[in-house]
C-alpha cells in the first residue's frame, strides 16, 4: 500500500509543447494518503485517464516526479510499481474459468493454493459470481466479464494501489449501484489506496472519501462530497457537481455587499476582489428560497422530480434554477431570497474565502 506523491507533473502528448493548451495535464502537485479512496472526476478530455496512466506507469510524464512512499517510481514499469488496474472494458482470459481468471494474479506470484482459494472465494462472493465459478469466461456476457476484470483487480491484497478507469461503463444500471457500494466496503476492509476515474458525479461521490475534480488539465478541488457541495473552490466545481448545478451571477462588490442585477445582497464579510478580476456570486439552487418578499423573479417553468420541484426562472437577466419542496407554494408575484450560508464569492472563477 502506498502514499502517492505527484510532484510538478505535466504532460503533453505532442512534441515541443509551449502554450498551456498543449498540455493534457498542466501542473499537478498532490499527495494522496496511503489507504485513501479517491475519485478523479471531470468532463471528457480533462486529463483523468492521463493522470491515472501516469500513476500506473503506462504513461511517462513529460515533466515531474511520482513517488510511492517517498520512493521515486517515475522510471519504473507498472509491474515494478506493483499496481492493479481495471479498465473500462473487460480484460479476461476467455479459455479459463471464472475461478481461474481470479486465481491467476495470485498463482502468478506463487501464493499458496489454500490462500488462493480463500481469497478467490471471497471476491467471487463480493461480486456475486460464486455460482459461475467453474464456467468458462468465453460464454459470459460483457458485464459478467467486466465483473471478472474487477475481481482480477481486487484479488491481490499486497498491491500498492488499485486504479480503476471508468470500470462500470458496461455494467447495467442496477448492478452498477450494487457494485459501487461493494467496492466501497472492500476498500474499507482492505485499506488499499484506490483511485477511480469517472465522469459520473454519483459514482464519484458514493465511492470516494475524497473527490478530485479536474478541469482542463488541472485539479481544481480535492474535497469530501460535502465540501464540494458547500464550498466549491471554482465555479466549474459548483456547476459540475450537483443537479442542477450552482447558479453563478456577475456581481459588483462594495464592502460586504454584492450587487446582483443592481440589487444589494449582504454577504456578512467583505471579500477582497483583486483589481481587474471578474467578481461572481455562486449560490446552489437549494439555497434560493421563493417567497412573497425579496428580489423579484419571473417563473419560466416548474419540473416535478418526485419529492422536490425544480423551478426555472428569469432573475437578474439570466435563467436560474431553484429547488423547492414538492408541496411548496409558489406565490403569484414571486420573489427570491438568498440564504446567506449558501453564498460563495468568486474572483476570476476562484472562490474568495472569508479570510480574503
Ligand atoms: P475521457 O473521459 O474522454 O476519457 P479524460 O478526462 O480521461 O477523458 P484524457 O483521456 O486524459 O482525458 O485526455 C486528455 C487530453 O489528452 C485530451 O485532449 C485527449 O484528446 C488527449 N489525449 C489523450 N490521449 C492521447 C494520446 N494517446 N495522444 C494524443 N492525445 C491524447
β-partners of residue 129 are none
Counting atoms of ligand 1 from 1, which one is nearest the CA of 51? 11
pTM of the model: 0.90
The answer to whether the beta carbons of residues 74 and 65 sit under 8 Å apart is: yes
Residue with cell 515533466: 63
Measured in Å, residue 46 CA sits from the centre of ligand 1 at 7
Rounded to the nearest angstrom, the distance between the alpha carbon of 14 and the centre of ligand 1 is 12
For residue 179, how far is its CA from the centre of ligand 1 (angstroms)? Answer: 26
**Residue 47 CA to ligand 1 centre (angstroms):** 6
Angle between helix axes 173-190 and 113-126 (nearest 10 degrees) is 140
> Which tens digit of pLDDT belongs to each residue from 221-276?
999 999 999 999 999 999 999 999 999 999 999 999 999 988 899 998 999 999 99
Residue minimizing CA distance to atom 3 of ligand 1: 44
Residue ranges lining ligand 1, Cβ < 6 Å: 13, 24, 42, 44-50, 199
Q: Which of 148, 157, 153, 170 is nearest to 97 (CA)?
A: 148
Q: Determine if the peptide bond prior to 132 is cis (ω within 30°).
A: no
- For residue 176, how far is its CA from the centre of ligand 1 (angstroms)? 24
Distance between CA atoms of 322 and 260, rounded to whole angstroms?
Answer: 16
Q: Which atom of ligand 1 is nearest to the CA of 40?
A: 6
Ligand 1 pocket mutation pick from 40, 45, 61, 164 by most atoms within 8 angstroms of CB: 45
pLDDT at 355: 63
Ligand 1 centre distance from Cα of residue 214 (Å): 13
Residue closest via CA to ligand 1's atom 16 equals: 24
Instruction: List the chain pLDDT tens, one digit each, 356 residues.
Output: 789 999 999 999 998 888 888 999 999 999 999 999 999 999 999 999 999 999 999 999 999 999 999 999 999 999 899 999 999 888 899 999 999 999 999 999 999 999 999 999 999 998 989 999 999 999 899 889 999 999 999 999 889 999 999 999 888 888 888 888 888 888 888 889 999 999 899 889 888 999 999 999 999 999 999 999 999 999 999 999 999 999 999 999 999 999 998 889 999 899 999 999 999 999 999 999 999 999 999 999 999 988 899 999 999 889 999 999 988 888 999 999 999 999 999 999 999 987 65
Q: Nearest residue CA, atom 10 of ligand 1?
A: 49
Q: What are φ and ψ of residue 32, in 5° steps?
A: -105, 130
Nearest CA to ligand 1 atom 26: 13
Q: By the 8 A CB rule, do 40 and 215 touch?
A: no
The residue to mutate among 12, 19, 24, 195, having the most atoms of ligand 1 within 8 angstroms of its beta carbon, is 24
- Dist CA 320 CA 265 (whole Å): 17
DSSP of 214-236, one letter per residue?
Answer: EETTEEEEEE-HHHHHH--SBHH
Q: Which of 42, 50, 51, 88 to mutate to test the pocket of ligand 1 (most atoms within 8 A of CB)?
A: 50
The backbone region for 345, taken as left when phi is positive above 0, alpha when psi lies in -120 to 50, beta otherwise, is beta
Question: Ligand 1 centre from 150 Cα, in Å?
Answer: 23
Q: Beta strands 37-41 and 193-198: pairing type?
A: parallel
Task: Report the separation in Å between the CA atom of 337 and the middle of ligand 1, taken as the mean of its atom positions.
Answer: 42
Cell numbers placing 305: 422530480
Output the residue whose Cα is nearest ligand 1's atom 9: 47
Amino acid at each position: 500500500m502506498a502514499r502517492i506523491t505527484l510532484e510538478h507533473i505535466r504532460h503533453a502528448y505532442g512534441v515541443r509543447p509551449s502554450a498551456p493548451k498543449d498540455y493534457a495535464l498542466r501542473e499537478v502537485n498532490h499527495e494522496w494518503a496511503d489507504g485513501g479512496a479517491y475519485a478523479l472526476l471531470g468532463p471528457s478530455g480533462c486529463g483523468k485517464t492521463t493522470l491515472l496512466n501516469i500513476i500506473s506507469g503506462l504513461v511517462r510524464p513529460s515533466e515531474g516526479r511520482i513517488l510511492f512512499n517517498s520512493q521515486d517510481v517515475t522510471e519504473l514499469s507498472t509491474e515494478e510499481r506493483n499496481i492493479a488496474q481495471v479498465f473500462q472494458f473487460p480484460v479476461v482470459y476467455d479459455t479459463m474459468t471464472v475461478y481461474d481468471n481470479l486465481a491467476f494474479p495470485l498463482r502468478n506470484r506463487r501464493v499458496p493454493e489454500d490462500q488462493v482459494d480463500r481469497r478467490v472465494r471471497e471476491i467471487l462472493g463480493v461480486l456475486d459470481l460464486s455460482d459461475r465459478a467453474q464456467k468458462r469466461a468465453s460464454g459470459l456476457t460483457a458485464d459478467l466479464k467486466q465483473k471478472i476484470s474487477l475481481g482480477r483487480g481486487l484479488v491481490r491484497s499486497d498491491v500498492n494501489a488499485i486504479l480503476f478507469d471508468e470500470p462500470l461503463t458496461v455494467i447495467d444500471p442496477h448492478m452498477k449501484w450494487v457494485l459501487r457500494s461493494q467496492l466501497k466496503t472492500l476498500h474499507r476492509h482492505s485499506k488499499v489506496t484506490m483511485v477511480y476515474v469517472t465522469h459520473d458525479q454519483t459514482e464519484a461521490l458514493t465511492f470516494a472519501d475524497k473527490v478530485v475534480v479536474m478541469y482542463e488539465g488541472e485539479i481544481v478541488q480535492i474535497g469530501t462530497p460535502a465540501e464540494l457541495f458547500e464550498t466549491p473552490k471554482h465555479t466549474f466545481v459548483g456547476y459540475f457537481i450537483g443537479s442542477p448545478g450552482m447558479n453563478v451571477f456577475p456581481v459588483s462588490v462594495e464592502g460586504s455587499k454584492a450587487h446582483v442585477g443592481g440589487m444589494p445582497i449582504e454577504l456578512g464579510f467583505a471579500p477582497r476582489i483583486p483589481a481587474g478580476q471578474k467578481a461572481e456570486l455562486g449560490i446552489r439552487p437549494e439555497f434560493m428560497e421563493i417567497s412573497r418578499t425579496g428580489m423579484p423573479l419571473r417563473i419560466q417553468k416548474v419540473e416535478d422530480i418526485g419529492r422536490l420541484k425544480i423551478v426555472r426562472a428569469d432573475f437578474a437577466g439570466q435563467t436560474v434554477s431553484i429547488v423547492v419542496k414538492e408541496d411548496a407554494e409558489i406565490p403569484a408575484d414571486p420573489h427570491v431570497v438568498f440564504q446567506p450560508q449558501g453564498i460563495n464569492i468568486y474572483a476570476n472563477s476562484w472562490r474568495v474565502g472569508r479570510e480574503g
